[in-house]
């Protein structure tokens, strides 16, 4: 079964509104979670690394004021797309690691955001 | 700058035959490589990995080969099954062993296994 769950799986919103996406590790504690974005026919692009209890680390080119990340607990990280625009429409995926070893990453089901 | 490249966007193979998916990388600091499988509207699932100290890793029908001098890796699936039809992503990271879990993904290859 899924060990990382995302919600919602699909969201449609109007331009200018904010949307929150949740990522939960279901049966383990994740001190670090990762947020990715995927455009059609493109690779998964790492947006930011979410650390429990501290500020997220954003990749170059990702606006931290637009994509707010909060890792309030060891099992929950949230991504809020603020003042969404049509170009923010994308597939957002989170991942979390059970262990320190690279590769033991479990991905959420993804969230399809459509901004009208 | 695409550090991990999958030059074939799609591949079609007959059931029972071998599927070979290729991946090239440019960053010599990468020391851990992974393959993920992804179905539409789902998150990727881990398939197999290889560290840079090895040149081959096998798990059932899946084998990953690493050629460090060529900065090239490949995933072999044999025999291919229709259920293998999915997008396959190659990913790489630097600092295996706890330093980081940051993965750099390739653009993916859509594998279609024909019955």
Residue A16 token pair:
């200018």
CB atoms B43 and A46 under 8 Å: no
List the 15-44 stretch of B: residues with Cβ below 8 A of A. Answer: 32, 34, 36, 41-44
| Dihedral sign computed on CA atoms, order B83, B84, B87, B89 | positive
Q: Which contacts qualify for B51-60: CB closer than 8 Å, 24 or more apart?
A: B51/B96, B52/B96
Residue that has been written with the tokens 């931290």 in this structure: A64
For residues A52 and B87, which has the higher predicted lDDT (pLDDT)? B87
Would you state the structure tokens that stand for residue B29, as one six-digit string?
Answer: 């600091």
Residue A108 is nearest to which of B43, B49, B95, comparing CB atoms? B43
Nearest CA in chain A to B110: A41
* % of chain B with per-residue pLDDT over 70: 93
At A26-76, the pLDDT tens digits run 888 887 889 999 887 778 888 998 888 888 989 989 999 999 999 888 899
A-to-B residue pairs, Cβ atoms closer than 8 angstroms: 69
């Amino acid at each position: 079964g899924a060990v990382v769950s995302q919600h919602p799986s699909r969201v449609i919103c109007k331009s200018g509104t904010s949307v929150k996406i949740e990522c939960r590790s279901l049966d383990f504690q994740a001190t670090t979670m990762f947020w990715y974005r995927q455009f059609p026919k493109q690779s998964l692009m790492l947006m930011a690394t979410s650390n429990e209890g501290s500020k997220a680390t954003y990749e170059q080119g990702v606006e931290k004021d637009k994509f707010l990340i909060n890792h309030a607990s060891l099992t929950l990280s949230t991504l809020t797309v603020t003042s969404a625009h049509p170009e923010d429409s994308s597939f957002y995926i989170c991942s979390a690691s059970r262990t320190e070893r690279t590769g033991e990453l479990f991905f959420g089901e993804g969230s399809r955001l459509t901004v009208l | 700058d695409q550090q991990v490249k999958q030059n074939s966007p799609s591949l079609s193979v007959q059931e029972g035959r071998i599927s070979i998916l290729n991946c090239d990388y440019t960053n010599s600091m990468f020391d851990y490589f992974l393959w993920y499988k992804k179905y539409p509207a789902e998150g990727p699932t881990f398939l197999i990995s290889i560290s840079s100290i090895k040149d081959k890793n096998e798990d059932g029908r899946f084998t990953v080969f690493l050629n460090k001098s060529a900065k090239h890796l490949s995933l072999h699936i044999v025999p291919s099954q229709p259920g293998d039809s999915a997008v396959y992503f190659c990913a790489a990271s630097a600092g295996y062993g706890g330093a980081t879990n940051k993965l750099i993904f390739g653009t993916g290859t859509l594998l279609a296994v024909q019955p």
